[in-house]
């Protein structure tokens, strides 16, 4: 996984993901990581830092072969100033990203682990791959970071999902067998 930018470094470019997948994560002082989201094609990477203090508040790394377009930070800001429709699209994207983080924070704070893992399964199924069958491109440790738990707890719970026939799991390949149960687990937390 190639690092695109590191937390606490200065922003110089705006990145747009043409193809592939990118993981956005934050690292605490104790070196523990929290994966914030997976960026899929057609989305910007690091947009929040462009309008903040020009410092990346999180890191980004490609989790599969990716094609990324980079635009100079100041050229991007000039485009926003000159093109109102583009500026509105960027505002919409920033708001959508902010709401996603709010929802993730609520899930981390109030959902039990099965609910958080169900959220991640729905996220990959509905938002990233748009299919009930998909292949994780993340390691078990990275998936645990996305759920806000340890690797061991993630593995134990995902195996419970498998044993309860909620999902089929074969290596990295996942098939959601009972989408209804995954949604119920996600809703109930």
What's the CATH class of domain 111-188? Answer: mainly alpha
Q: What is the pLDDT of residues 87-146, one digit of tens each?
A: 999 999 999 988 988 888 888 888 899 999 999 999 999 999 999 999 998 999 999 999
What is the distance in angstroms between the CA of the first residue and the CA of the last residue of the chain? 31
Domain 3-109, what architecture? Sandwich (2.60)
The C-alpha R_g of the chain, in whole angstroms, comes to: 17
Per-residue model confidence as pLDDT tens digits over 16-38: 999 999 999 999 888 888 888 99
Query: Measured on CA atoms in the order 96, 102, 106, 109, is the torsion positive or negative?
Result: positive
Predicted confidence (pLDDT) per residue in 108-125, tens digit: 888 899 999 999 999 999
Show me where the domains of the chain are located: 3-109, 111-188
What the block records as the tokens of 100 is 């996603």
Question: Which residue from 78, 76, 186 is spatially nearest to 125, judged by alpha carbons?
Answer: 186
């Amino acid at each position: 996984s190639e690092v695109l930018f590191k937390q606490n470094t200065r922003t110089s470019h705006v990145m747009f993901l043409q193809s592939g997948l990118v993981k956005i994560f934050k690292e605490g002082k104790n070196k523990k990581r929290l994966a914030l989201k997976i960026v899929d094609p057609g989305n910007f990477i690091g947009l929040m830092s462009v309008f903040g203090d020009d410092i990346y508040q999180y890191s980004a790394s490609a989790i599969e072969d990716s094609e990324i377009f980079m635009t100079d930070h100041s050229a991007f800001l000039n485009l926003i100033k000159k093109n109102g429709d583009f500026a509105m699209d960027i505002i919409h994207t920033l708001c959508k990203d902010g709401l996603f983080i709010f929802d993730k924070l609520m899930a981390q704070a109030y959902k039990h682990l099965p609910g958080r893992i169900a959220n991640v399964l729905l996220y990959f199924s509905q938002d990233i791959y748009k299919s009930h069958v998909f292949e994780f491109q993340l390691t078990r440790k990275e998936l645990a970071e996305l759920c806000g738990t340890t690797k061991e707890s993630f593995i134990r719970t995902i195996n419970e999902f498998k044993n309860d026939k909620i999902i089929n799991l074969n290596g990295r390949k996942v098939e959601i067998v009972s989408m209804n149960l995954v949604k119920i687990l996600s809703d109930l937390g």
